[in-house]
Structure 1
């Protein structure tokens, strides 16, 4: 297993924005089946919208990051990655200290596991195989066998830390407030009163823009924020309080309903 590169605290900048090109899928035949890349970001980092010639599997060795496609926002962690098909325009962000990994799958000769971005569970077996492919002196025969095993086990996961962000003028104040403070306790009725519209109007707008109810949308935003805190090593009780739950048990139940996983699955290793 490779070790984390040093991340000098004193040299961190406040934020870095990276600009990458947008390529169509398979524009150039890649001379690899699976190529691995990893980096510890030294400061809060944003990637502007871009796309790759190859399919990409994003996951983290440490920390949580996000990938955005349109209004959909995925959270990427050490246990839950994201498959990004070649040519898919996406942007992303990661906080300082995040150790992210990207595995690129050659477009020619590799079949995408999905035509759209999908979550991928980073199982212990898949992790070991991907880490083996990152070894610089891996013999060609071993590389070929390991690549074949990766292609055999990488599959879409039914679990996804996915949130659709509303963008209409009506719902934008709610979205911004809840993202800023996931523990915000305002109900749909109170928001409707503050916005000067009926509760039914807000409820219908949420369903139309996010595909889910206001309550479930808030739960998904809270779950995303909770994952970021859990991967930083926060205790479950503290996370529950930070994202607006009265107890760890209430938080755990809501978290499982939203993600299909327990908070412990995302605790920093």
Structure 2
């Protein structure tokens, strides 16, 4: 483990998918992050459900960046190389599923809605005094209710020299108001060239990509207790209502669903 100013870097190994030395069905992990924390590229032999009890974190697989929250978790298949980060104050949780104890929820990372029932079951499994038969029943219920969701806070990062200045600027300041035409003029190319590049590299349009980046940043602020109107202004919307419409279009949920109590 290394420190850079207030940031902690944790180094974990890259392990292939396979059974653990001590077989298990479901195990849980939780930790409060006193500092900003970064995890290197690593992989686990077991499947993993990433979620948070408090705050927002990120998980990265190649150019894809997911935001993980108490509402939206992320299924990470065994053996998938990924990295991550969490801001200070986040309470991270992960649920590990023993390789071979279940059919994989998905062969690729996929969003999972942390429903009240799923959270209740996972909290119950965190009780170290739970009787063996009760644990087995609870594990079976988790496997029954655990389902992939079309909802996820995902941004596909472009990598070309053409789009990198745009990506860096928008991720550095999600409130950046420059339009597609503004960027075309700034970079000395046509708007059509940028549009084609965004579609090819991210699978979406410039406008939708910006909206996704804004949604990820907004969730991080909402999880820290920011007011919705303040978040709307920070990520570049003229009103809370306009922000709400764009946020729902991107995530399928309202901003209030992510606001810390």
* Range of TM-score over shorter length: over 0.9
Structure-1 residue corresponding to 2:222: 230
Structure-1 residue corresponding to 2:85: 93
Choose which of 107, 111, 117 in structure 2 pairs with 1:115: 107
Contact map agreement 1:162 1:220 (CA 8 A) in 2: yes
- The alpha-carbon deviation at position 111 of structure 1 amounts to 1.3
Deviation digits for residues 108-140 of structure 1, max 9, x if unmatched? 222111000000000000000001101111111
Deviation digits for residues 61-102 of structure 1, max 9, x if unmatched? 000000000111000000100000000000000000100100
Unaligned runs of 5+ in 1: 1-11
Structure-1 residue corresponding to 2:42: 50
Choose which of 69, 72, 82 in structure 1 pairs with 2:61: 69
Deviation digits for residues 172-203 of structure 1, max 9, x if unmatched? 01000000100000001111111111111111
1:250, 1:229 → 2: CA distance?
17
Matches within 5 A, 1:1-269: 14-28=6-20, 30-269=22-261
Deviation digits for residues 189-244 of structure 1, max 9, x if unmatched? 11111111111111110000000000000000000000001111111100000000
- The alpha-carbon deviation at position 165 of structure 1 amounts to 0.7
**Between Structure 1 and Structure 2, how many residues are aligned?**
258
Superposition TM-score, scaled by structure 1 size: 0.94
1:54, 1:110 → 2: CA distance?
11
Query: SS where residue 252 of structure 1 aligns?
Result: helix
1:268, 1:85 → 2: CA distance?
29
Superposition RMSD on alpha carbons, in Å? Answer: 1.1
Unaligned runs of 5+ in 2: none
Contact map agreement 1:30 1:108 (CA 8 A) in 2: no
Superposition TM-score, scaled by structure 2 size: 0.97
Runs of 4+, deviation exceeding 6 Å = none
Structure-2 residue corresponding to 1:5: none
Contact map agreement 1:30 1:106 (CA 8 A) in 2: no
